[in-house]
Amino acid sequence: MPTKQIYIFLFGLFVAISASSTMVLASEITATCTGMFDLDIYNFVSEKKIQVIEKLGEVQFVQTEGFITLDGSFGEMRFDLNSGTLYANESDTGLYCTYRGL
């Protein structure tokens, strides 16, 4: 392979790798929440601000560094990503959540 073609190939490879590393892919997040008698599983798509969540209906989804907050006709649910606590309308539900996809 001539030198010029090698440089063009390497430049193209560099551009492809750079472009792929800056792409933002929608992240699917699963919250598995358990308590004494409960097992609730919630699935979110991080890029969708309005989405339909099973058992909750249509919600407004907001993800910050430490929380996922869902607002809907049921009120507010807040998932503490650090402690695992699930809050409903500012009250601790007694459920502990683990997360996949963060």
pLDDT digits (tens, 9 = 90+) for 27-40: 899 999 998 888 99
pTM confidence score: 0.71
Confidence (pLDDT) at 20: 43
What's the burial of 88, exposed, middle or buried (CB within 10 Å: 0-12/13-18/19+)?
A: middle
Task: Report the alpha-carbon distance of residue 36 to residue 57 in Å, rounded.
Answer: 25
- The average pLDDT across 57-85 equals 94
Residue 3 reports pLDDT greater than 90: no
Distance from chain centroid for Cα 90: 21
Identify the residue whose tokens are 């560099």.
14
